[in-house]
Amino acid sequence: MDIKKLIPVLLVIILISCSVVLAEKFYDNTAYDWYFMPSKDNQPARTEPHYEKMLNDHGGYFIGNSDEKELYLTFDNGYENGYTTQILDVLKEKQVPAAFFVTGHYLETQAELIDRMVKEGHIVGNHSWHHPSLVEVDDATLKEELDSVKAKFTEMTGVEEMKYLRPPRGIFSERTLALSNELGYTNVFWSFAYMDWDVNNQKGAQYAYDNIMKRVHPGAIMLLHSISKDNAEALGRVIDELKSQGYVFKTLDDLVK
What residues are labeled active site? Answer: 76, 225
The runs of H, that is alpha helices, within the chain are 3-23, 49-57, 84-94, 104-109, 111-119, 139-157, 174-182, 205-215, 229-244, 252-256
DSSP 194: -
Q: Which residues contact 209 (CB under 8 A, 6 or more apart)?
A: 234, 237, 238
Handedness of CA 91, 96, 101, 102 (dihedral sign): positive
> Which H or E run contains 193?
none
